[in-house]
Amino acid sequence: MGSQVEPQSSRTARKPGGPQKAPLSVIAARLVQEALKEDASITELAKLATGDAAFAMRVLSIANSAAYGPSRDVRDMRTACVLLGVRGLRNVALGIMVSDMVPVHPDATVLFANSLRRAVVASLLAEKVRGVPKDEAFTVGLFLEVGLLSLAREDLPRAAEIARMPAAHRPLVERAFGLLEHARQGAAIATTMRLPPMVIEAIEGHHAAEKPAAPLASIAWAAERVAAAWEGGDVARVLEEAQKAAIAVGYPEAEVADLLAKIPELVTAVAVTFQRNVDEQLDLDRLADNARAQLVELNHGYEQIVRRLETLLAEKAQLADQLAHANEELAKLAATDALTRLPNRRAFDEALVRDLARNDRGVAGFSVILIDIDHFKRVNDAHGHPAGDAVLVSVADALRRTLRAGDIAARYGGEEFAVIAAGCALDGGRAAAERIRAEIERSVTVCPAGMLKVTASLGVAEMRDSDRPRGEDLVKRADRALYAAKAA
């Protein structure tokens, strides 16, 4: 089977107009999946790895890297596979997959350098921490920025912009841009690849405020802080945090300075083994000299973040206004009868409860008027439901014409309507009811069946100060009065 990894000459080419995505190695992906199986055989894995000469050369180059494992000079692929073992071969394949995620473009060098730096630091820390194999630490370190590498394949300028920010601030920057934090994105990618839980935990927690308890996760946590010393911010402060983090995971305090001194050269060397380039890696002395330029770049970056946050806040305020308006419209729709455009029964009931409460506070009383269209069923039976609907609309219009300010009219259900006549005792309510009855009787409904006229019966109930009925009791009294009117 041929490999999908292109030759080195094509890997360094660029498509006009933008970054070129390096194809992800199919053999590396297959190796990872096969190596994760419980019955994985080094013989079968070696056969798969040696099936493509270009891929085999990449494996040998990485396996011989001093940052990856014990110093070796293995030139035979089968021997390398035996020395690496199942886990080691899986980790080499994972490293190749991560490197292939980096777009081929000058802006991508900062992303790959950041990833390699964490891998190198993790492998160096693992030399002094029991229970964490060096190759496992290297692979986890390489995966810490895989969330950003994933973004880079879709939006390289944005990913590179984030990668140039101080390491500790990147999660905040990602949130400001509305992105999933790279630690969570990386953990999701590792989960999709079915990597071991301890690897996923290490990736997800490398920005945690406190050092994790698990050895591999603590290595990832410390690698993040040590690597951050090369990535902007207050150089003196981040160096101090780097030293504290290394010591916290068990690295001898007396050797921390030597650890920091090794990192730039190793990052450059390991980049060569992955057949990729990185920018010049500064030593600690030159980092301090470069602090002023970093501060200028940092301030520029923060200006962009502030502008972005201002835009987000403005968009949030606009969305809040739109949501409030939409909620108002929904509330109106929920309280409005679709046919007559009058308030519906739910809105009437709420208004009745409100007016009862106002009456309890000494506000002037009111009357409830129920209206029922006489012989409405005959209209539907004789002229059809469209004519019946037209009559209902006509009655609603008659109610609007007779209402005073403060009165509420609603479609109560079917051919029934209800009115709250504000500030009316029983006599005032009866007078209002008579105006409504007369207006309905005068009204003419124009419909496909011709011109129709209807009458209505009404019942009135007064809210008296001497009693405190519930809303439903008041409606029942009005309903009894309505049926008395119909029977008259």
| 400, pLDDT greater than 90 | yes
Final residue belonging to a domain, choices 254, 271, 289:
289
Assess whether 355 and 251 both reside in one domain.
Answer: no
Which DSSP letter does residue 337 get?
Answer: -
Assess whether 60 and 193 both reside in one domain.
Answer: yes
What is the spatial distance between Cα 246 and Cα 127, in angstroms, rounded to a whole number? 12
Give residue-wise pLDDT tens across range 219-253.
Answer: 999 999 999 988 877 777 888 999 999 999 999 99
Instruction: Report whether 38 contacts 88 (CB < 8 A).
Output: no
The pLDDT, as a whole number, for residue 298 is: 56
Assess whether 362 and 260 both reside in one domain.
Answer: no
Q: In what order do the strands lie in the sheet with 408-413?
A: 408-413, 416-422, 366-373, 456-462
| 236 CB-near residues (< 8 Å, 6+ apart) | 288
Q: What is the domain range of residue 140?
A: 8-289
What's the number of domains the chain is made of? 2
- 408 DSSP β-pair partners: 420
Of 11-15, 28-32, 212-216, 466-470, least confident by mean pLDDT is 11-15
What is the spatial distance between Cα 73 and Cα 412, in angstroms, rounded to a whole number? 90
The pLDDT, as a whole number, for residue 291 is: 56
Final residue belonging to a domain, choices 246, 271, 289:
289
Q: How confident is the model at residue 7 (pLDDT cuts 50, 70, 90)?
A: very low
6-10, 272-276, 380-384 — which one is most confidently predicted on average?
380-384
The pLDDT, as a whole number, for residue 200 is: 94
Assess whether 350 and 256 both reside in one domain.
Answer: no
Final residue belonging to a domain, choices 273, 289, 305:
289
Assess whether 382 and 453 both reside in one domain.
Answer: yes
Greater confidence, 1 or 142?
Answer: 142
Q: Is residue 339 part of a domain?
A: no
Greater confidence, 195 or 309?
Answer: 195
* Number of alpha carbons in the 13 Å side-chain half-sphere of residue 404: 13
| 11, pLDDT greater than 50 | no
What is the spatial distance between Cα 116 and Cα 143, in angstroms, rounded to a whole number? 9
Q: What is the CATH number of the domain that holds 265?
A: 1.10.3210.10
Tell me the mean pLDDT in the region 147-167: 91
32-36, 330-334, 397-401 — which one is most confidently predicted on average?
397-401
Q: Is residue 146 part of a domain?
A: yes
Assess whether 156 and 69 both reside in one domain.
Answer: yes
Average pLDDT of the chain, as a whole number:
83
Residue from 136, 174, 231, 415 carrying the catalytic annotation? 415
Assess whether 276 and 131 both reside in one domain.
Answer: yes
Tokens of 396: 């609603």
Assess whether 27 and 139 both reside in one domain.
Answer: yes
CA distances from 134 to 34, 37, 114 (A): 21, 22, 19
The pLDDT, as a whole number, for residue 304 is: 65
What is the spatial distance between Cα 352 and Cα 355, in angstroms, rounded to a whole number? 5
Tell me the mean pLDDT in the region 415-439: 92
The pLDDT, as a whole number, for residue 125 is: 94
Q: Is residue 331 part of a domain?
A: no
Give residue-wise pLDDT tens across range 429-481.
Answer: 999 999 999 999 999 998 877 899 999 999 999 886 555 667 788 899 999 99
Instruction: Report whether 376 contacts 391 (CB < 8 A).
Output: yes
| 10, pLDDT greater than 60 | no
Share of the chain above pLDDT 90, in %: 40
Q: Is residue 333 part of a domain?
A: no
Closest CA relative to residue 58, chosen from 243, 257, 313, 272: 272
Q: What is the CATH number of the domain that holds 463?
A: 3.30.70.270
Assess whether 247 and 166 both reside in one domain.
Answer: yes
Q: How confident is the model at residue 2 (pLDDT cuts 50, 70, 90)?
A: very low
Q: Is residue 307 part of a domain?
A: no
Q: Is residue 305 part of a domain?
A: no
Assess whether 281 and 353 both reside in one domain.
Answer: no
Q: Is residue 366 part of a domain?
A: yes
Tell me the mean pLDDT in the region 294-322: 68
Q: Is 127 among the catalytic positions?
A: no
Give residue-wise pLDDT tens across range 82-120.
Answer: 777 777 778 887 888 888 888 888 888 999 999 999 999
Q: Is residue 460 part of a domain?
A: yes
Assess whether 208 and 354 both reside in one domain.
Answer: no
Assess whether 210 and 73 both reside in one domain.
Answer: yes
Q: How confident is the model at residue 342 (pLDDT cuts 50, 70, 90)?
A: very high
Distance of CA 350 to the CA centre of its chain: 37
